Amino acid sequence: MTSGWVGLVAATAITIGLLLLALRLIQRVGRSSARTGRLPIAVVQRQALGPKQGLAIVRVGRRVLVLATSDQSARLLTELRGEDRALALGERLDDPPRPAGDPHLRRLLARLTLTLAVAALPFASSSAQVARPPVADTGRLLPISPAATVAPPRARVAAAPAGASPSVKAPAPPSVDVRIGQGADQLKLSGTVGLVVFMGALTLLPAVVLLMTSFTRILIVLHFLRSAIGTQGSPPGQLLVAIAVLLSGVVMTPVLQEANRTAIQPYFAGQIDQAEAYSLGVEPFRRFMLANVRDKDLASFTALSGADEAATIDEVPTLTIISAFVTSELQTAFWMGFVIFLPFVVVDLIVATALMSLGMFMVPPVMISLPFKLLLFVLADGWSLVGQNLVLSFQR
């Protein structure tokens, strides 16, 4: 109890000291501003003496001056003192003398007194609460505050022995479990590493599927066609990719229908398991790739992969067939690009020869030959011819 009163007195003394220090600083600032401020000037009364002349009583600081004014100048006549000064300012001679001092300082002292009174209220209430005698237990139920009935949200507090602080159990991290296949051939991926492997496989899966189709050859031939015509940005690359996807769908329609009939639909019907569905679904793609791969490329990759000892073509791994098929597609696409380039190169040569014979050495031949190449391609129905020959170039 004594220590509490000592702390209360010390806090009050520190507060009063800080307030006095602030008051002292305010007084110094007020004096400095008063010294550097402007002298107050006010016109107390005016009296007209003529059209352009008059008298004015002006208060300058503590002095009261009488001025003769006109439109162009003002002249000092006299200074009022004593009774005349009081009458001019409207003061009564029998008024009691006002206390000396700065009115701002008096207002500041009044505010300081009010602040100290307000600051002392909490200490008075706390002392009253400490001095209140304890209430005897009368057997009545005490009201329970609403905060005591609210349980901590979503927090599992473990039971702790007496005297020990309760501990909060941290939530378990989410688990990721990916399973592919069934039985002994099942592939299980769990944890962060499994999730990364699964996302990587999903990223590479579209590329692998496109390599097993006619997409590679068609896209390369379309890019060669755009370069041969000389239009660098038309058609744009995204449009060429879309055209290649559509033409690949036309070429691969029989293969996709067979894979759907022999693998996908039976698996959905529950007639076969996942491993058998995969084997039956890949088989049409293997036949398509084997029908369009060159024997030289297939033999080379079979020897590189160590599958040259396979007795039949069915024993060759699918990855080896895909590698050989992609190489064959690149070779065929470049041959088709060379054939497409020939007529446009002829047009460039004719235009360049004509310009040189006319002496127009400063004119770029490409600028003159481009309209003729576009006209030749449109008159020959080039897009239809290229699309038809690309579809017919595959063995299905």
Lowest mean pLDDT among 87-96, 139-148, 376-385: 139-148
Look up residue 313 and give its two tokens: 């073509």
**Average pLDDT value over all residues in the chain:** 76
Helix/strand/coil for 78: strand
Averaged pLDDT, 360-379: 85
In sequence order, what are the residues at sequence separation of 6 or more whose Cβ sits closer than 8 angstroms to the Cβ of residue 192?
176
Sign of CA dihedral 242, 244, 245, 247: positive
Q: Which of 90, 109, 128 marks a domain boundary?
A: 90
Q: Which helix or strand (DSSP H or E) is residue 359 part of?
A: none
pTM (predicted TM-score): 0.52
**Residue at 302 is within a domain:** yes
The domain in which residue 311 lies consists of: 209-392
**Residue at 272 is within a domain:** yes
pLDDT of residue 217: 93
- Which one-letter DSSP state was computed for residue 37? S
Q: Which of 90, 121, 150 marks a domain boundary?
A: 90
Distance CA 396, CA 385 (A): 20
The answer to whether 167 and 156 are in contact (CB under 8 A) is no
pLDDT of residue 122: 54
Asked if the model's pLDDT at residue 370 lies above 60, the reply is: yes
Look up residue 154 and give its two tokens: 């979503």
**Residue at 319 is within a domain:** yes
Q: Which residue has the higher pLDDT, 192 or 3?
A: 192
**Residue at 364 is within a domain:** yes
Q: pLDDT band at 45, cuts 50/70/90?
A: confident
Q: Which residue has the higher pLDDT, 297 or 12?
A: 297
Look up residue 232 and give its two tokens: 């660098």
Distance CA 161, CA 155 (A): 18
**Residue at 377 is within a domain:** yes
**Residue at 180 is within a domain:** no
Q: What is the pLDDT of residues 133-191, one digit of tens each?
A: 444 444 444 444 444 444 444 444 454 455 555 555 666 656 666 666 666 656 666 66
- 3-state helix, strand and coil shares in percent for the chain, rounded to the nearest 5: 60, 10, 30
Q: Which of 90, 109, 125 marks a domain boundary?
A: 90
How many separate domains does the chain show? 2
In sequence order, what are the residues at sequence separation of 6 or more whose Cβ sits closer than 8 angstroms to the Cβ of residue 269?
none
pLDDT of residue 204: 79
Q: Which helix or strand (DSSP H or E) is residue 65 part of?
A: strand 63-70
Q: Which helix or strand (DSSP H or E) is residue 81 part of?
A: none
pLDDT of residue 93: 45
pLDDT of residue 243: 93
Q: What is the pLDDT of residues 105-138, one digit of tens each?
A: 666 666 666 666 655 555 554 544 444 444 444 4
**Residue at 342 is within a domain:** yes
> Which pairs from 348-356 meet CB under 8 Å and 24+ separation?
348/373
> How many C-beta atoms lie closer than 10 Å to residue 24's C-beta?
10
Look up residue 145 and give its two tokens: 């505050």
Q: What is the pLDDT of residues 208-237, one digit of tens each?
A: 778 889 999 999 999 999 999 888 788 898
Look up residue 367 and give its two tokens: 């600028």
